[in-house]
Amino acid sequence: MPMPASTFTIAVGSWAEMQPEACSSDGLAAERAFLPPEADFRYAGACGHMEYPCRFQNVSTTTQDIIPHRVFAPVSFRDVCQETLLQLIPACLSAAHSILGTHPFSRLDVLIVPANFPSLGMASPHLIFLSQSTLTGSSHLCGTRLCHEIAHAWFGLAIGARDWTEEWLSEGFATHLEDVFWAEAQQLAPQEAQEQQELRACLRWHRLRDEVLNSAEELQVLRPNRENTGHVSDSGASVVKHGLNPEKTFMQVHYLKGYFLLRFLAKRFGDETYFSFLRKFVHRFHGQLILSQDFLQMLLENVPEEKRLELSVENIFQEWLESSGLPKPLQRERQAGAECGLVRQVSTEVTKWIRTNQRPRKRKRRENKEVFAKLLPDQLVLLLERLLEQKTLHPQTLQSLQQTYRLPEQDAEVRHRWCELIVKHRYTKAYGQVERFLRGDQAMGTYLYGELMVSEDARQQQLARKCFELTKEQMDRASAQVVAEMLF
């Protein structure tokens, strides 16, 4: 398959190789045993791309729900990869196939990358990088991130953005689909899947709202070139707007606004109509580069007129893709919508913790004892975010919080929020946990360095400089430069 050069990736190193039991024979020979003979491929006369052996045109590949896969990891991660990751991959691949159909690529290797890798994951043809940070705690973070990267096989790789300024066409789709794939992989009942997706929508709403408040307006626009999107110079070159702006690297607006736009469209047209269309879209545009209007025009042409109402490509551009701030339809939805049950449960738990924090500390312990509910990882993230809004949490409250939820053993998303609480309330007994996070979860640590430095607390600033000195030679160069500017 012809691919943009930017998607070409090679990994060089020494890792332990792990395969599912069905793939126990040597290396690539095992993969080929799963693949149909080359003669079975038809060249894609019915497809819109240039000729290559296309999996979308072959019966034996269109029905293959789980493609051959392997995992490569440091020896120290062998056990957790075999117990968790190798069990997740088939379920996530099968879930993706059930939603989108034919896998664009014939096989998949998953590589666990070192702590200094600058993101939680990255997808390339046949190869997914996953951060070590996804393997800690429960399987939730690993599963959702794996689903996100698998979604890029369709959106970002098999279908790419003709103008990379429109990166929402890759990241927005992958963010939306990760929830759908993960619910299917877990085989959740429809009501339970909806509850979990509403909870994740709540978390993303808070992140988008915070990002909009704390970033330049020009960086919040998903289609900044407007009618000039996709235009190239006489030499054939195209310019990615804000492509050299270092702030943009740390922004999630193209993930989040893109996700909320697709979620809005799926709810507007109904999941059955929307995902049926998405399969048609993938079949029509795989192997090609697209612009936003290619997706939106085909969508509006394929849904019943009564569901379109006043929707048009132009007003979607105006409200979602070409304006800064929070899209008006999203604001109306958040104002009108009632909290889901999982969010209400978190609100109840937050009230208990506030009550616990307000009680006189001289009372006997048994009089202070609250009974706290067991929470899902995403609920824990929301709980800690809500508690970050409190002006003061006493050390006893923080200690009880840590013990109740065994926070040092949770996944990296939960531990990141916990470290924020430690820093905000100067909980010195837990500074060692902040140090471990900054050294072991470097893909997520940049924000914490900033929090340590703005606190104007000498001990916290010393902690930040100590961690940087211990890791700067191994850190990703771009991340190291950003952190150095914060510290010095």
Which residues are catalytic, by number?
149
CA separation (Å) from 72 to 48, 67, 412? 35, 16, 21
Cα gap 397→405, rounded to integer Å: 12
Question: Of 383, 345, 129, 167, nearest to 257 (Cα)?
Answer: 167
Q: Where are the alpha helices (DSSP H) in 214-270?
A: 253-269
- The CA radius of gyration of the chain, in Å to the nearest whole number, is 24
Question: Of 149, 151, 124, 125, nearest to 52 (Cα)?
Answer: 125
Q: What are phi and psi of 124, to 5 degrees?
A: -135, 165
How many Cα atoms within 13 Å fall on the side-chain side of residue 76? 5
> What spatial distance separates the first Cα and last Cα of the chain, rounded to whole Å?
47
Q: CB count, 10 Å around CB of 249?
A: 12
Question: How many helices (H) and strands (E) in the chain?
Answer: 22, 7
Q: CB count, 10 Å around CB of 257?
A: 28
3-state secondary structure of 127: strand
Question: Of 445, 144, 34, 98, nearest to 276 (Cα)?
Answer: 98
Q: Which two tokens stand for residue 393?
A: 């949490």
Residue showing tokens 């993960």 = 182
3-state secondary structure of 280: helix
Q: Which two tokens stand for residue 139?
A: 């399987």
Cα 263 from chain centroid (whole Å): 15
Measured torsion, CA atoms of residues 77, 79, 85, 91, in degrees rounded to the nearest 10: 170
Dihedral-angle region of residue 258 (phi above 0 means left; psi in -120 to 50 means alpha; beta otherwise): alpha
